[in-house]
Every structure is written in structure tokens, then in C-alpha cells.
Structure 1
Amino acid sequence: MDRRNFLFNTSAFLAGSALLPSALRAVAPSDIVNFGVIGVNGMGWSDLNGMLHHPEARCVAICDVDKNVLDKRAAELAKKDIKAQLYGDYRQMLENKDIDAVIIGTPDHWHCLQMADACSAGKDIYVEKPIGNSIAECRAMVNAQQQHNRVVQVGQWQRSMQHFSDAIAFVHAGKLGNVRLVKAWAYMGWMKPIPKKDITEPPPGVDYTTWLGPAQKRPFDPNRFHFNFRWYWDYAGGLMTDWGVHLIDYALYGMKASNPRSVVASGGKFAYPDDASETPDTLTAIYEFDGFNMQWEHATGIDGGPYGRTHGIAFIGNNGTLVLDRGGWEVIPEKDKMEAVAYQKASDNGLVKHTRNFIDVIKSRKLEDLNCDISTGANVAVNAQMGNIAYKTGQKVYWNADKQQFTSRDANKLMTAQYHNNYKLPK
């Protein structure tokens, strides 16, 4: 199933998806949260719809560098009696004093700059994952939040799902015994080869220069635009960062872990060696922590992942194994060492609950109540970047916790964001 459509194809979401215009709901003016959206083509649009489930949320502005997308979304909002102001430049939108919060749903290489600018403008922020496209960007984003003390929720909406919390509570209870290995994986059977396309002029209405932003200047390639930007190093980190931040997040959470001692990774374009993408379609990374290993693996074009699941996390203990994914969790006993736990099915919608949590904290200003704050998002994004760095260097890379850097010069070079076109990493 397409990751973008996953949210909208679940019965839990469809049951509550009647998006009545906020203006028709009885809400005290002091409780209204006016928000704008930067990037409304993919997850930004999904996040906007999740936000509109809540009567306090008012969409007053949307921004996109593709006027075709902008006009399409404006028309869709108008059908719900929502009139949003349209922007092509997010910086102009941030100058709007009526906006309390923004959703950042742009490609990964823009997250850091836009979040830092939104913090500086006094906005609260819901930023899509992965938060940054480099370790340096992750650090800059944490610093921006701390400097301006804004509410920042990272779009790892699984953090708001009850069955994920229940599964982790079971892991922390110790019933699995000594957990020595944790596996996280994403097998994406729906991902097909990306055919090579001719270089063209940007489509009419697309501000391609702004879309590139800090990324290297290149002629317009339709393969690199919109959804498929994920498979190009200039803008993202492939499946390792796209799905890895969701799943590695819970591997780390369950093991109460932060950064590994070492990482080694191997893979490549084994499934589609001649297609147009850059990032590996097949990858295995092994993270060494004190007392356990974590293994990440992904593969495109295949649905037959471990334990018969396309994605998931498995905590493998001496007494049994807990297997967890978006659909639910179960415990498979190791012979007769513990009782099995039957499949516990998911019962709620993570995106709706995640946006609810964001709005609640905007009103309470209790940042500790966020289900996925910027530090949590940064921790898992850094781990995903470590896996990609190990892959790129072809080395087993070692992490110096005191210096917060690798022991390898080659690996350390890849920690820093490479900005172009006169853009600078936020300080």
C-alpha cells in the first residue's frame, strides 16, 4: 500500500473523516488555533486534513512553490467552505501575524531552514519527518527550538497510537527476558522501478529555483520532483530515513537507547540497478549498542518481510519475541518459556491523535506533554543518518559519544549539510 494513502485507507480514519468547516463549530475565539501549511502536495496535505478534525483548528493559509498544487488544494478547501490565503513564498506567510502555527510538509532538504525561520517568527510548528537531511541539520533544529521555546511536534504519528504504547510497556516490563537483538524493517512491494526521463523545463507555475533551495543546482528532472524526491541524496535519504525514522524510533524507545557505539551497512541498487533513483533499494545496517544489536533492513519490490510483515519491529528476547507494526502487536514465545500474547489489533488513528496532542500543547504550553518533540525526532533521524553514512563510506563507523562525532574523518565529513545557492545552515 502506498505510504501516503495508508492513512486514508484505514477504517478508523474513514469513520471520522467528515471534515466540517471549522467556522460552523462552536469554539471560543480564545481557543482558536490559526495555522498555515508549507508544502501541500503530499504529507503536508495529509497533516492538514488530520488537523481539521479538531474544532479549534482553522486553516488560514497554504503555501507551495507549485502553483498547480496550490490552486488544486485551494479549490478542495473551498468545497469545505475554508478560504485560505495563498502564498508562493513561505517567508511571506510567516510574516502573517494571524498565523499561530505552521505545518511543514516540504521535501526533507527544506525542513531545517523552514523550521528555524518559523521559530524565529514566533510560530509553533508541526514538522514532517525526518526532521533533517543531515546530522548537522538535526542539531540546528533542536537548537532553534530551544532558543525560541516554541512548541515543535515531529510528524512521527505512531508515537500517539495506543497499541504502540502498549507494546513498548510490555517490552519494558521485562517479560521477554534479556533482549539481545532488535530488528526493524521496511519491505515495500508497491515500489517499482523509476523509469529514466528526459531533462525538461520546469512545468508552468513551478518555482523550481525555490524548490531546489539549498540543494545543488541541476536542470529540472521530473523524477526528482514531488514524491520521488525521496530517492535522491540531494533532498532525502531513501527508505532508511523515510520509513526508518518511524520504525527505528520504536526500536530505540523500547530499548531506552540513544546512539550506537558503531554502525556497519551494506546494500545497493540490487533490485533495479538501472532505474533513475540513487538511494539503495536493498540495505542492511547493524547498530552495536551496549548489550544488544539493532538491525535495520529494507527492500523495494518485495512484500515478504520478516514474520510475514511488510514492515515492523521485533524485540527478540530469551523468553520470546514481540513483533509490532502499524496493524498491531503479538508475542511469540520461545518454546515454553512464556505465554503467547494473541494479536492485539490497532484501534485508533495516529495522525488524528498526534495533531490533537499538538493543539493541546499549543494551548497548555507544557512542552513535556508532546508525544514526539524535536529531541525525539532528532535522535532517531541522527541514527538513520548514521546508517546511511556507514553505507556511503563502506566502513564500520565508530561513534565517540563524548565528542558527538565519528572517529572516522570520512564519516564526519558526511555529518555536515552541504548548502548551495547562498543558503546557510541556521546558527
Structure 2
Amino acid sequence: MDPLSRRSFLSKTVTTAAVASAASIMPRVAGAAGPNDTLQVGVIGVGGKGRDHVKQLSQLPGVRVAALCDVDPARIANGQSMLDDAGVKAKHYQDMRELLDDPEIDAVSIATPNHWHALATIWACQRGKDVYVEKPVTHNLWEGKQIIDAARKHNRVVQVGTQNRSDTGFRAAIDYIREGALGEIQWMHGLWFKDRGSIGHVTGPQPIPAGLDYNLWTGPAPLEPLMRQNLHYDWHWDWDTGNADMGNLGAHQLDDCAHALDIASSPKRFLCLGGRFAREDDGQTPNMQAVCFEFDDAPPFLVEVRGLTESAGSRKLPNVRGVTAGNVIQCENGYFAGGRGGGAVYDNSGKLLKRFPGDGGAGHYANWVEAVRSRNNEGLRAELAVGVRSANLCHLANLAFRSGQPASVEEVKSRVGQRGDALETIDAIAAHLKANNVDLDRNRLTCSEWMEYDPQAMQLSGADATSNAIANALVKPGYREPFVVPEQV
């Protein structure tokens, strides 16, 4: 399914990244708003998630959404309409660089497509702005160090939008498990199942929405004709701009696993499987994907995302122990099932032991604002380095998948082996695909070998030479001038 096939990789030269100079970008010499000042925030990207930023930030005391930026004027207008009732007239920008140069803006929230997250955050840090940025905080592995270096060098407070870390119920459940109430954790399974319909198929370039600056929208990515029906949102399913659902909805579950298991190291090894099934459309990324991670100092976990209903023609979604979006944490003497919004713990027979009602992470923005005022990163629940580690898990999963090869269900099961509920999950995925009229003998799963990652060298290994080369070529892709993530931040 992947456009970067083994054959095309061997016949094409991988584009090397350009080296950028940051000499023309001068940091703003200004401090953040003081404890008693109104924090002037600019929202960059005013689509669906960006409008949530506008709503949530506007409700916080001492915070004013003072600027809106989007390459699409229609989206700026939608964002402004949310502020009109409060009598707030924000400044409007189409180019984020102009907003970032505004000395009246103290901080920014970033809800752009994924391929812009790192560069926008680095630019903001260089101009003295604190940042709230959506997940995944990076679009590839290489950007992680660059974005952390920028935040540290310019002394910025950066929070990542993995708001489950602020959910009161999930946090309480993690504390309960860590106190030993259920014994040792054995494994964890994160999942998000959502019906993802076809994005359609086009036979030629499509028109760009009126007034939208397509050059700015494309930014660091290759400037190519629009070859799908919808520019907005469906960028998730294009590798140049998105990270598949594993880096979209799955990013929350990967972060939940890292949070619950207190993971602060790179995985010992990992394997990813999946494919794009039951959809003849222009999407490049898998709509069924599962990744297994193993660590030296933590229990194993599996995260899966599925984009099909329970069966062809059904509107119902599958579930794991009653969960369609969340986590199962299996312990010696019971398990937790739930996620954002809380959940409950059960004994191993399924008897309810305790409920943990949550709030969906409602305090995540306020947590950031408090840290901005105090200049104390230690209070952040999703500080940048934490967000980078979780984003790296997304990228490792996708790199393993993109370097994988077709395999039968039995081959996949043999490769994965018995760990946690992995074999049960593979059987469930196969049954799910069969119920959606997918013939896995003709349309096989793509599965990687078990791979390893050296975070210092930023190199993947463990598979055959070609698979390793495919994965490593994607660690640091090329950038388009002048939208280049700089070597020196």
C-alpha cells in the first residue's frame, strides 16, 4: 500500500535535507506576561482543533486570544466569530511569521498540520514566545532534538497537547495501580477505533480553496498539486504532511502507555503491522495498524488503530473489553479499562472494583498558562521532552510499517510471538478484516521484522538491509526552502 515501495526505493535517490541558517531569525527580547498581566495568545491554525484552542483559551482568566493565523481566510473568519460574542477583536494573519514578529503576543498555540509543528514551534521559541503545540510535536525523528534544543536555548515553556495526562480519572487510576492495588503490571494495550470512510479518488489535480495560500499551507513539504478531494484534514493520510492515524489518534494511546508505564527510555525492540484495506481511495497511510513495543525497564505494550466498522454495512465499532478508544492495563490481580474521561478497574473475573471518573483533561491549557506565568517547566504535565519521546514512538511505528513486507496472518503471528495479548489482537484484526470482506490471502498484511533504534545515532536496525535503509532514509526527510527546520536553532 505504501508509495515508497522496496522497488521504488532501490530505483530512486533519497532526497537529502537542506541545511538552514538561523542567522536571519532574531529572538524577541521580551519576557512572558507577569503573574498579574493578561496573557496575549496567538492561535496558529484555526481548523477543528484550532477552534477548540480558541474556545478553551478564551475561557481562562487572565488570557486573551489576541491573534488568529491561518492560511485559509475562511478559517480565520470562523475563529473570529467565536470571539465576537465576547467582544474580542483579534488580529488576523495569514503568515505565521508575521504573527510571531508581533511584539504584543506573549505566547502561541499551534494546531497546524503535523508537518508544520516543529518548525512553527522553533520559530516561536526563537522569537521569545511560549508554546502550546498539538501532538505529535514532530513530523519525524530528527526534529525531536531540534525542537528541544530551541526551547532550552531560548528558555521557553512548551506544552504538548496530549491532554490525557491532565485527565483527573486517568491520573487517579495510574496512581492506584502504581500503589500496587492490582499487583504488578503485566502488559498494556492502547487502542482507538473510529470509522474512517473513503477519502475518494481523483484523476487529476484539484482546485485549491479560494483565498488559501497553498505555498504557505505546504510549507516544509514538497510543493505538489493537490491530488485528493479535500485539502483539509485528509492531509493526515499523506506521508508528506501527516503521520497516519498512529500519529493522530494513536498518538494519545502511545502517550498513555508511556505515561502509565513511566517510560523514559527508548524501546529495546518494536514491530509494526497493518495496511490500507476496504478503501479504494487516495489515502497513502494504513487504516489498520498495530505496533508492539518491548523495553528493558518496563512492561511491553501494544497500540492499535482501526478505521473500519465492526463489519461491512455496520455502524458499530469493535471493542476490547468494552473499550473503543482508550486503554487496557493488565495487572496480576485485575485490570483497568478506560482512558480519557476516566474508567474503572476490575478483577480478573470482570468484577467491578472501583470507578475513576475523569474530566477529559480539561485542565491541560490552564496547566500550561500556570507554567508560563511561573516560568517553571517542572509543573507541566506534558512538557516538551515528554512529548518528543511519545512522538518518537509514533515515528518508530510508522518507520517499521513503511519498511515492512507482505506477510500471511500465520507468518505475522509467528514473528510476533506470545507477549501480552498480541496474538489475540492479531486474530481479532484478521477477523475484523474478514467481516469487512477483505481477503487476506490476496491482500496481505504488511509486517516489519523486529527492529531496534539507536537514539544517539538516530539509526534503525534489526531487519534486512533494504528494510533498514528504507526506514533510515525517512528519519530526516528533505525540507523545502525557506521552510527548513534549522540545524542551528
TM-score band w.r.t. shorter chain: 0.7 to 0.9
Counterparts of 2:231 and 2:137, CA distance in 1: 19
Counterparts of 1:143 and 1:278, CA distance in 2: 32
Counterparts of 1:140 and 1:380, CA distance in 2: 16
Q: Offset at 1:175? A: 2.8
Matched positions, count? 395
Counterparts of 1:110 and 1:247, CA distance in 2: 22
Counterparts of 2:122 and 2:70, CA distance in 1: 18
Q: Deviations over 1:199-244 (max 9, x none)?
A: 2231220100110011112112454521111111111111101112
1:123 is aligned to 2:129: yes
Q: Offset at 1:77? A: 2.0
Which residue identity lines up with residue 361 of structure 2 in the other structure?
G
Counterparts of 1:128 and 1:28, CA distance in 2: 25
For normalisation by structure 2, the TM-score amounts to 0.77
Partner of 1:350: 361
- Given candidates 92, 101, 114, the residue that maps to 1:86 is 92
Partner of 1:62: 68
Partner of 2:327: 313
- Given candidates 292, 297, 303, the residue that maps to 2:304 is 297
5 Å-filtered alignment, 1:330-349, equals 330-335=344-349, 340-346=352-358, 348-349=359-360
For normalisation by structure 1, the TM-score amounts to 0.88
Counterparts of 1:220 and 1:255, CA distance in 2: 41
- Given candidates 117, 141, 161, the residue that maps to 1:155 is 161
Which residue identity lines up with residue 119 of structure 1 in the other structure?
C
Q: Offset at 1:421? A: 4.0
Partner of 1:99: 105
Distance 1:114 1:28, change over 3 A: closer
Counterparts of 2:122 and 2:43, CA distance in 1: 15
Which residue identity lines up with residue 329 of structure 1 in the other structure?
G
Counterparts of 1:269 and 1:28, CA distance in 2: 50
Partner of 1:377: 387
Q: Offset at 1:402? A: 5.6
Distance 1:112 1:275, change over 3 A: same
Counterpart secondary structure, 1:80: coil
Partner of 1:255: 261
Counterparts of 1:250 and 1:112, CA distance in 2: 22
Contact 1:130/1:245 (<8 A) preserved: yes
Contact 2:140/2:475 (<8 A) preserved: yes
Partner of 2:443: none
Distance 1:421 1:79, change over 3 A: same
Partner of 1:410: 470
Contact 2:168/2:342 (<8 A) preserved: no
Q: Which moved more, 1:76-85 or 1:51-60?
A: 76-85
Q: Offset at 1:245? A: 1.8
Q: Offset at 1:404? A: 4.8
Partner of 2:120: 114
Counterparts of 2:189 and 2:469, CA distance in 1: 29
- The percent identity for this pair of structures is 31
Partner of 2:451: 397
Contact 1:399/1:406 (<8 A) preserved: yes
Contact 2:201/2:228 (<8 A) preserved: no
Which residue identity lines up with residue 401 of structure 2 in the other structure?
Y
Contact 1:61/1:86 (<8 A) preserved: yes
5 Å-filtered alignment, 1:86-235, equals 86-189=92-195, 191-197=196-202, 198-223=204-229, 225-235=231-241
Counterpart secondary structure, 1:323: strand
1:75 is aligned to 2:78: no
Partner of 1:14: none
Counterparts of 1:170 and 1:342, CA distance in 2: 10
Counterparts of 1:349 and 1:181, CA distance in 2: 24
Counterparts of 1:392 and 1:79, CA distance in 2: 47
Q: Offset at 1:122? A: 0.3
Q: Offset at 1:288? A: 1.5
Contact 2:172/2:356 (<8 A) preserved: no
Counterparts of 1:183 and 1:253, CA distance in 2: 13
Partner of 1:364: 374
Partner of 2:26: none
Structure 1: unaligned runs, 5 residues or longer: 1-26
Q: Offset at 1:75? A: 3.4
1:270 is aligned to 2:260: no
Contact 1:31/1:363 (<8 A) preserved: no
Q: Offset at 1:181? A: 1.8
Structure 2: unaligned runs, 5 residues or longer: 1-32, 310-316, 405-447, 462-467
1:32 is aligned to 2:38: yes
Larger Rg: 2
Q: Deviations over 1:358-377 (max 9, x none)?
A: 11111111111111110111
What's the RMSD between the two structures over aligned residues? 2.0
Distance 1:402 1:116, change over 3 A: closer
Counterparts of 2:479 and 2:34, CA distance in 1: 44
Distance 1:367 1:29, change over 3 A: closer
Counterparts of 1:400 and 1:29, CA distance in 2: 42
Q: Offset at 1:406? A: 2.0
Which residue identity lines up with residue 417 of structure 1 in the other structure?
P
Which residue identity lines up with residue 201 of structure 2 in the other structure?
K
Contact 1:223/1:229 (<8 A) preserved: no
Which residue identity lines up with residue 79 of structure 1 in the other structure?
D
Counterparts of 1:172 and 1:71, CA distance in 2: 47
Q: Deviations over 1:171-213 (max 9, x none)?
A: 2112332323211111113x21111245223122010011001
1:326 is aligned to 2:340: yes
Counterparts of 1:132 and 1:402, CA distance in 2: 17
